[in-house]
Structure 1
Amino acid sequence: MTTALTRADVATAAPTRRRRRVPGWLAVVPLLLFTALAFGLPALAMLNGAFTAKDPASGATSYTTANMTASVQGAYVTALLGSVKLSALAAALATVLGLPLAQAVVTSRSAALREAVLTASGVLANFGGVPLAFAFVATLGNAGVLTTHLGLTDAGWDLYSFWGLVVVYLYFLIPMMVLTAAPALEGLRSQWREAAHNNGANTFQFWRHVALPVLTPTLLGSFVLLFGSAFAAYATARAMVGAAVPLVTLQIADALSGNVLIGQEHVALALSLDMVLVAAVVMAVYLPLQRRSARWLA
C-alpha cells in the first residue's frame, strides 16, 4: 500500500537546517582596529602630551593646562589666526572660482573633455608639497619665468608672502572644488530649469531663486572641506615661505625641532590639539550640510 506524504509530513520528517547569519558589524572590525591603531593611539598620546609638563631638573611629569594656555598666547595664537585667515580666504576664492568651472565641465557637450578635466582635477587636487612649491618658485619666484618676462617684480608681486601662498593654495583647492561641486551640479534637475523658463524666468533668475538656494548647503560644505585641506597643509608653506608667514603647522614643526625654544614639545602637542579642535568644528559643520544637500539632490 502506497502512503501519500503531505508537505507537513515531509517538513516534519526532514531535519531542520538553519544557517546561522553572521552579524554585519563583523565586516567592519578590521577597519575599526586599523582606525584605533593608526588614529586612536596617536590621538590619545597627543591628548596626554598636551596636558603634561616635565620638570627639567627632576624629570618628573605632571598634568597641567599650561601648555594649552601657552598655545593660545603670543606667537602661537598669531600663527593659529594666520592659518585660519589664510585657509578661509583661499577656500572662499576657490569656491567662487571653482563653481563656474565645474558648471562649464558639467554642461560640456564633449564627454572626452569632461572626463579629461575631471581626471586632471583629481590629480591636481592631490598635488602639493615640495614639488608644487618648486614649480611655483620656478614660474613665479623672484627669478621665475613669468616674473622675468612680465616684469611682475616691478608691479609689486612677491611669491614669498601671504598672497603668494594664497595663489599657490588655489592651485590644488580649485580642482578640489570642481570635484566636489560637479556631482551637485549634475543633480540639478532639468525640470526645474524648464519650469522656471515656462514661468518667464531668465537664466540669472533661475540661478538666483532656484539653483543657488538648492546648492547653498553643498557650497558651504565644499567651502568647509577646502578650508580643512588648506588648514592642514604644511610642506608647501614650509618650502616656500618658511617663517615669513606665521602658520600653526610651521609653529608645530619649530616647537618639535627646537628651532625657537628647547623643550617645547608639549606646547607643540597642545597646538596640534588646537588644530584637531578646529578640524572637529569643521566636520561638525560639514556633515549636516552634506546630508541636507543630499536630500535635495537625490
Structure 2
Amino acid sequence: MANVSSVADTAAGPVSTGPVARVGGNPFRFLTTLRLGDILAIAPFILFALLFLVIPTLGLVVGAFQDPNGTFTFDNILQLSDSQIVASFWISIRVSAASAIIGALIGLAMAMAVIRGKLPGFIRSSVMTFSGVASQFAGIPLAFAFLATLGRLGLVTVLFKTLFGFDLTRSFNILSFWGLTVTYLYFQIPLMILIIAPAIDGLKKEWGEAAATLGATKGQFWRYVGFPVLWPNLLGTLSLLFANAFGAIATAYALTGSSLNIVPILLYAQIRGDVLHNPGLGAALALGMIVITALANVIYLVVRTRAERWLK
C-alpha cells in the first residue's frame, strides 16, 4: 500500500521539468526557437509543395465526388468497378510489380558487385554516376530510344535478322506488356542501385570477420546475417520502385499509345481526350492511383525507418 501511495503522490505532484515533460506540456514550444532566416530558407519548398502537391491533390479528391455540374455524387467512384477500369488497374499493377521485382534483383546484383566485389574502384564511381542520370531518364526520349533499338525496325531487331536470320518481333513486341516492362527497367535498375547502395555499405566488415572466426562460410553469412539485415531495405526499395512505375505515364503513352490500357493512359484520355472526356471519372482514377501509390510509399517509409538502425 505504501508503494501504491507513493506512486499516486508522485503522479499528483508537480510536473517534472525534464525534456519529455516540457515537450508534452507545450508541444508547440519549438515555434519560439525558430529564426526568421530558417523560415525564409524553407519557405520556397513549402510554397512549392502547396502549389504543386497539396492543392492539386485536394482538387482531385473534391473532383472525384462531383458531377459536371459541381454537385456531390458517388457516381465517379462507383464507375471504378467497371470491367475495363478494373482491367487497366490490374495491368498497371502487373507492369509495376514485374518491373519492380526484376529491377530490384538486377540492381541488387549490380550493387553487390561494384560495392563488395573485387572490381576496380573507378567502376563503382562510373556505375553510380550513370545510375544517377539513368534513373531520371524517362518519358518520350526513353520511349524513342527503345523503339529505335527494339522496335520493328530497330537497330537490334535488324541486326538479329541480318546476322542470324532471327526475327525478334515474333517472340518480343515492344508495344506489349513485357515491352513496357523492359523499358521501365531502364530507370528501375539504376534507382535500385542508388537506394540500396547505402544499405550495402552499412554491412560492417567486422560482421563478416566475426562470422568467419566462428567458422561460418560466406553462404552462411549472407543467409543468417547479410540478407536479414538487408531485407527491410529490400522490401522498402521494392515498394518505392512499384510506386515509381505505377505513376509513370509519359514513357508508356509515347511507347504504346492506346495499345496497352494502363491506368495513367486511361486517366489521360478522360481528362484530355475528346471522346472519353469525363473529368470527374479522371479525378476518381487519379484518386485510386494516389491511394495505391500512397500505400506503397507508406510501406517504404515504415520499413526504411526500421532498417536505419542497422546503418548507424
The question of a shared fold, defined as TM-score above 0.5 by the shorter chain, is answered with yes
Q: Secondary structure at the match of 1:286?
A: helix
Distance in 1, Cα, partners of 2:148 & 2:78: 41
| Residue 17 of structure 1: aligned partner | none
**Aligned equivalents of 2:49 and 2:249: distance in 1?**
23
* Alignment RMSD: 1.7
TM-score (norm 2): 0.83
Do 2:113 and 2:119's aligned partners in 1 also have CA atoms closer than 8 Å?
no
Partner of 1:254: 269
Task: Say yes or no: does 1:61 pair with 2:76.
Answer: no
* Kept after mapping to 1: 8 A contact 2:152/2:169: no
Match of 2:123 among 113, 118, 122: 113
Letter in 1 for 2:100: A
Conserved 8 A contact 2:143-2:251: yes
The CA distance in 2 between the partners of 1:155 and 1:193, in whole Å, is: 48
Report the counterpart of residue 125 of structure 1 in structure 2: 135
Partner of 1:3: none
1:214-244: CA deviation from partner (whole Å, max 9, x where unpaired): 0000000110111111011111111111122
- Deviation (angstroms), 1:43: 1.4
Q: Which residue of 2 aligns with 1:46?
A: 60
Residue 23 of structure 1: aligned partner: 34
**Post-superposition shift, 1:261?**
2.4
- Offset of 1:146 from its aligned partner? 0.9
> For 2:43 and 2:148, how far apart are their aligned partners in 1?
48
Structure 1: which 5+ runs fail to align? 1-20, 55-59
Shift of 1:157: 1.5
Structure 1 position 196 matched with structure 2 position 206: no
Residue 36 of structure 1: how far off its partner (Å): 1.7
Dislocated runs of 4+, deviation >3 Å: 24-30
- Note if contact 2:111-2:197 (Cα within 8 Å) is conserved in structure 1: yes
In 2, distance between residues paired with 1:159 and 1:35? 36
Percent of paired sites with the same residue: 39
How far residue 109 of structure 1 moved from its aligned partner, in angstroms, is 5.0
Name the structure 1 match of 2:11. Answer: none
How far apart are the structure 2 equivalents of 1:84 and 1:233?
Answer: 12
**Paired residues, what number?**
272
CA 1:30/1:238 → structure 2, altered by over 3 Å: closer, same or farther?
A: closer
CA distance in 2, matches of 1:281, 1:271: 16
Cα distance between partner residues in 2 of 1:222 and 1:145: 33
* Aligned residue number for residue 177 of structure 2: 162
Which sections of structure 2, spanning at least 5 residues, go unmatched?
1-31, 161-165
Q: Secondary structure at the match of 1:135?
A: helix
- Paired residue type of 2:153: A
Q: Say if 1:109 and 1:267 are closer, same or farther in 2 by CA, change over 3 A.
A: same
What is residue 18 of structure 1 aligned with on the other side?
Answer: none
Aligned-partner SS, 1:63: coil
Q: Secondary structure at the match of 1:142?
A: coil
> Shift in Å at residue 72 of structure 1?
3.2
Find the counterpart in structure 2 of residue 235 from structure 1. Answer: 250
Q: Which structure has the bigger radius of gyration?
A: 1
Whole-Å separation in 1 of the counterparts to 2:299 and 2:272: 34
Tell me the distance in 1 between the aligned counterparts of 2:167 and 2:114.
31
The reply on whether 1:295 has 2:309 as its aligned counterpart is yes
**Which TM-score applies when normalising by structure 1?**
0.87
